[in-house]
Structures are given as structure tokens and as C-alpha cells.
């Protein structure tokens, strides 16, 4: 079956703009989590969604937001982009909260110039 699909794969934006990233989980997976990965850093948790509700949120400013749709697809939005937002944004899905393991997508590489 298809894995976690993230679109777009690459994105270049200008400071001050906003961006929306998309994640389609594995069919049947209802939990979606988002992570930011930057050089020299580990994966930093952004938020987790289950059944269209945000269950957990990491320590990121309010410029970072997300949502989940009834078909479990999720989007994350970053407003007023800053240079430091340049990163690989990863989405991971699982059957549900507390269910073992994540399956990650290949990520969206965001570059802010």
C-alpha cells in the first residue's frame, strides 16, 4: 500500500510569506504528526492530530499551525516565514495514538530566502 505522501517535495519561499504543506497518511492511519528537522538538530515535534483534533503541540510559535481533515489528511501552515524556518518538514502517521511506531514521509524541504 502507498506510504505517507508529502507535497510538495521542495519549496522556496521569501521571508514574510506563508506556506502550506500537505501530508496524506497511509490508508487507515488516523494519527498524523509533524516534525521539523534542521541541520545539527534532531527532529523537533510540531504537533499531532487525531480525528481532526490536535492532541499535542510542541514548543513552536503560533506562526506554525496545522489541521486535519475528515479523511485524515493533514496540512501545516507557517505564516510570516523567517530564514530560520528553513528545514525539512516531516510528517508521520500511525493507526492511532499510542499505537506502536510511526511511518514517516520523505518530507518537504522548505528554503526561506
Partner 1 sequence: GESVGLHLPTLSVQEGDNSIINCAYSNSASDYFIWYKQESGKGPQFIIDIRSNMDKRQGQRVTVLLNKTVKHLSLQIAATQPGDSAVYFCAESNTGNQFYFGTGTSLTVIP
Q: How far is the CB of 80 from partner 1 (least distance, A)?
A: 26
Q: Which residues are near partner 1 by CB under 8 A?
A: 4, 31, 33, 35, 40-45, 48, 50, 55-56, 90, 92, 94, 96-107
For partner 1, the closer CB: 14 or 98: 98
Question: Cell digits for 91?
Answer: 510528517
For partner 1, the closer CB: 49 or 78: 49
Q: Give every CB contact of residue 21 below 8 A, 6+ residues apart in sequence.
A: 6, 7, 8, 11, 75, 76, 77, 78, 89, 91, 108, 110
Q: How far is the CB of 14 from partner 1 (least distance, A)?
A: 24
CA distance 12 to 5: 19
For partner 1, the closer CB: 14 or 41: 41
Amino acid at each position: 500500500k502507498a506510504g505517507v505522501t508529502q507535497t510538495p517535495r521542495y519549496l522556496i519561499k521569501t521571508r514574510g510569506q506563508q506556506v502550506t504543506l500537505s501530508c496524506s497518511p497511509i490508508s487507515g492511519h488516523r494519527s498524523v504528526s509533524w516534525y521539523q528537522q534542521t541541520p545539527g538538530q534532531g527532529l523537533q515535534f510540531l504537533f499531532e492530530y487525531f480525528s481532526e483534533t490536535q492532541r499535542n503541540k510542541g514548543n513552536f510559535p503560533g506562526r506554525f499551525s496545522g489541521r486535519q481533515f475528515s479523511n485524515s489528511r493533514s496540512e501545516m501552515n507557517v505564516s510570516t516565514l523567517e530564514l530560520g524556518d528553513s528545514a525539512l518538514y516531516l510528517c508521520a502517521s500511525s493507526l492511532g495514538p499510542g499505537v506502536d511506531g510511526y511511518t514517516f514521509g520523505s518530507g518537504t524541504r522548505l528554503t526561506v530566502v
